[in-house]
Amino acid sequence: MSVAAEAGRVRRRRDFLEERRFLAPVLIGPAIIFITALVGGPLLLAVYLSLTDATAGSLTGEWVGVSNYVDAWDSPIFRRALRNTLIFTAISQVVVLVSAGLLAHALIRKFRGKWIFRFLILLPWATPIALGTIGFLWIFDSLFGVFNWILVHDVLPGGQAFYPYKAVNWLLARPALPGWLEIAPIDPFNPPQWLGQPTLAMAAIIAVHSWRIIPFATVIFLAGLSSIPAEVEDAAKVDGATGLRKFWYVTLPLQLPIATVALLFGIVFTATDMTVVFILTHGGPFNSTHMLTTWAFDTGITSSALGQGAAISLYLLPVLALVAILMLRFARRTEVS
């Protein structure tokens, strides 16, 4: 009798453990608690710190209201960093989306040796970005780097005549070039410092970052392309849609969702990236290539102005909030369909 009761109690306890209402929170709970503590906590702390004059070495400071935000805004370096972040994000996203779209369309086809191309294209994504950027430091080297070697060396063997820098200088001498480019003609005896001139350095940063994001965006595009059912293509073919018409009315609209996802990720990964700029130029020359992230690092860690630094990095929050809202909206729409 008591044995049966015991068994029943064990059974009931097990049933309780099996209860969905109980089991789901138990399984999800630890992850949520952990994430809240390690993401939500610091985020709130960042907001708090940005409203104080805290410095490294103390977790609290005098309450100073929004003056950190005002001070940051009044600094010319901050303005420049904000502008750089916008330019950096916008241009690299255009480059990345166009490249990834083209690449994914090509890679979804069947062709010989596809795996080796895929391997080569994925390489930048698989490389730790801090290390990949060091490779580019060497590529942009002004004495032994790739670009300057090509530009000021006679590339035709025995030719003694064709120096590629001459063609570049001819182009640079066109009066149609906008003045803000600020690129001087190339002096073969003093070749360009790729990372030592503001416009060139920004271009280098954008190039390196695009190089790193293109494979990832391509992968997302590939996933989206392969989720378009073949029947749609067939139906378009039956209806006589070909070439550009098919691309405009069938392929492009179907890809809009996946392009949106790739873009939203790209914006977040680009606007909040610090590694490429940090290693390539560290904001130089003369603080002309700082992004919000590197400027926050220099202010908050290097200069120990914790509150100031937190305020600078929190200027990124509106961008992130916007992306989050768009993502949520997007997720809800796919759920409905």
Partner 1 sequence: MLAKLREQGPAYLVVGPFAIVLAFPFYWMLMTALKTEGDLYNPANVPFKWNQDSPTFDNVEFLFRETEYLQWLENTAIVGALVVAITLALSLPAGYALARLSGSWGQSVGVAIFLTYLVPPTLLFLPMSRVITELGLQDRLASLVLVYPSFTVPFSTWLLMGFFKTIPAELEDAALVDGASRLRALASVVFPISLPGILTVVIFTFSLVVNEFVYAITFISSSTERTVSAGVPTELIRGDVFYWGPLMAATLIPAIPLALLYNVFLDRFIAGFTGGAFR
Cβ at position 37, least distance to partner 1 in Å: 9
Cβ at position 2, least distance to partner 1 in Å: 24
Q: Is the CB of 197 or the CB of 221 nearer to partner 1?
A: 221
Please say whether the beta carbons of 316 and 82 come within 8 A. Answer: no
Q: Is the CB of 197 or the CB of 210 nearer to partner 1?
A: 210
Assigned token pair, 263 = 């873009």
Q: Is the CB of 19 or the CB of 182 nearer to partner 1?
A: 19
Give the CA count within 13 Å in the CB-facing half-sphere of 110.
0
Cβ at position 329, least distance to partner 1 in Å: 11
Assigned token pair, 264 = 């939203």
Per CB under 8 A, which of residues 247..276 are in contact with partner 1?
Answer: 261, 268, 272-275
Interaction of residue 18 with partner 1, rule CB under 8 A: yes
Q: Is the CB of 23 or the CB of 177 nearer to partner 1?
A: 23
Q: Residues near 323 by Cβ (< 8 Å), separated by ≥ 6?
A: 264, 267, 268
Quick count: other Cβ atoms within 10 Å of Cβ 26? 10
Interaction of residue 189 with partner 1, rule CB under 8 A: no
Q: Is the CB of 144 or the CB of 180 nearer to partner 1?
A: 144
Per CB under 8 A, which of residues 34..93 are in contact with partner 1?
Answer: 34-35, 38-43, 45-46, 49, 54, 56-57, 59
The C-alpha atoms of residue 86 and residue 84 are separated, in whole angstroms, by 5
Q: Is the CB of 241 or the CB of 274 nearer to partner 1?
A: 274
Q: What is the dihedral of CA 237, 240, 243, 248, to 10 degrees?
A: -90
Pick from 86, 122, 183, 241 the residue near partner 1 by CB under 8 A: 122
Q: Is the CB of 36 or the CB of 199 nearer to partner 1?
A: 36
Report which of 311, 284, 278, 281 is spatially closest to residue 77, judged by C-alpha positions. Answer: 284
Q: Residues near 82 by Cβ (< 8 Å), separated by ≥ 6?
A: 292, 315
Q: Considering only the stretches 69-77, 87-95, 123-131, 163-171, report the one whose residues sit in contact with partner 1 under the rule CB under 8 A.
A: 123-131
Pick from 65, 76, 109, 176 the residue near partner 1 by CB under 8 A: 109
DSSP-assigned beta bridge partners for residue 187 = 190
Q: Angle at which helices 306-314 and 67-74 pack, to 10 degrees?
A: 70
Per CB under 8 A, which of residues 129..188 are in contact with partner 1?
Answer: 129-139, 141, 143-144, 146, 149
Please say whether the beta carbons of 87 and 209 come within 8 A. Answer: no
Interaction of residue 23 with partner 1, rule CB under 8 A: yes
In order of 91, 111, 225, the CA distances from 207 in angstroms are: 10, 29, 26
Per CB under 8 A, which of residues 198..227 are in contact with partner 1?
Answer: 211, 214-215, 219-220, 222-224, 226-227
Interaction of residue 231 with partner 1, rule CB under 8 A: no
Report which of 234, 216, 208 is spatially closest to residue 104, judged by C-alpha positions. Answer: 216
Interaction of residue 16 with partner 1, rule CB under 8 A: no
Q: Which residue in the block uniquely carries the two structure tokens 């820098």? A: 165
Q: Considering only the stretches 2-10, 24-32, 64-72, 174-182, report the one whose residues sit in contact with partner 1 under the rule CB under 8 A.
A: 24-32
Give the CA count within 13 Å in the CB-facing half-sphere of 66.
6
Pick from 62, 74, 231, 335 the residue near partner 1 by CB under 8 A: 335
Cβ at position 57, least distance to partner 1 in Å: 8
Question: How far is residue 130 CA from its own chain's centroid?
Answer: 14
Q: Is the CB of 129 or the CB of 201 nearer to partner 1?
A: 129
DSSP-assigned beta bridge partners for residue 63 = 52
Q: Is the CB of 59 or the CB of 70 nearer to partner 1?
A: 59
Interaction of residue 232 with partner 1, rule CB under 8 A: no
Quick count: other Cβ atoms within 10 Å of Cβ 75? 15
